[in-house]
Amino acid sequence: MSKKSATAKKKTVKPGFEWQTDAYERNAEFRFILPEQFLLLCKLVGVPPEEMIRDFMDNLSCASWHRKGRDEAKAHLINYFIMHGYGQHHYTEEDIRTMFKEMDALGLLFPENGSREAIDRYAAWRDEHHIYWFNKWFTKLRRNP
């Protein structure tokens, strides 16, 4: 890493929710030991670990970024999420699948090849919708029937 890039100011994103602190901080920088096998795999396939982790997050969050050709990968990651039991102490599997469908629908609305103005309007609307979507699910009866 060059000295210039190491000292460059890091971009921060303003939290959309007041609870986005500590473990849920949006501007997170993690330092952890990557499993040796993961590093070996990344090197063999020529994909840096950061890129692989970022792809995982983008696909699981059904983001509008790099959507083309990723539907099957997203489906597998959603199944992975459910197989691990994430969130099932609060929501049914059907609820969780609906959450993912709603996130994916929002990502599908990205105005590909849109003007800068259209993309900015979409981004502002998306951010407002994220607040609505989160509050909808957070305030829902959070128990399995």
Is residue 110 a part of any domain in this protein? yes
Alpha helices in 11-85 (DSSP H): 36-45, 49-60, 71-83
What's the structural domain count of the chain? 1
Is residue 41 a part of any domain in this protein? yes
Range of the structural domain that residue 106 is part of:
34-139
The residue type found at 25 is E
Is residue 123 a part of any domain in this protein? yes
Is residue 26 a part of any domain in this protein? no
Is residue 88 a part of any domain in this protein? yes
Is residue 131 a part of any domain in this protein? yes
Distances (CA, A) of 143 to 82, 90, 96, 115: 16, 4, 12, 43
**Would you state the pLDDT for residue 50?**
93
Is residue 73 a part of any domain in this protein? yes
pLDDT, tens only, 29-78:
888 899 999 999 999 999 999 999 988 988 898 887 667 778 889 999 99
- Report the predicted TM-score, pTM, of the whole model to 2 decimal places: 0.77
Q: Is 9 a residue whose pLDDT tops 90?
A: no
Is residue 23 a part of any domain in this protein? no
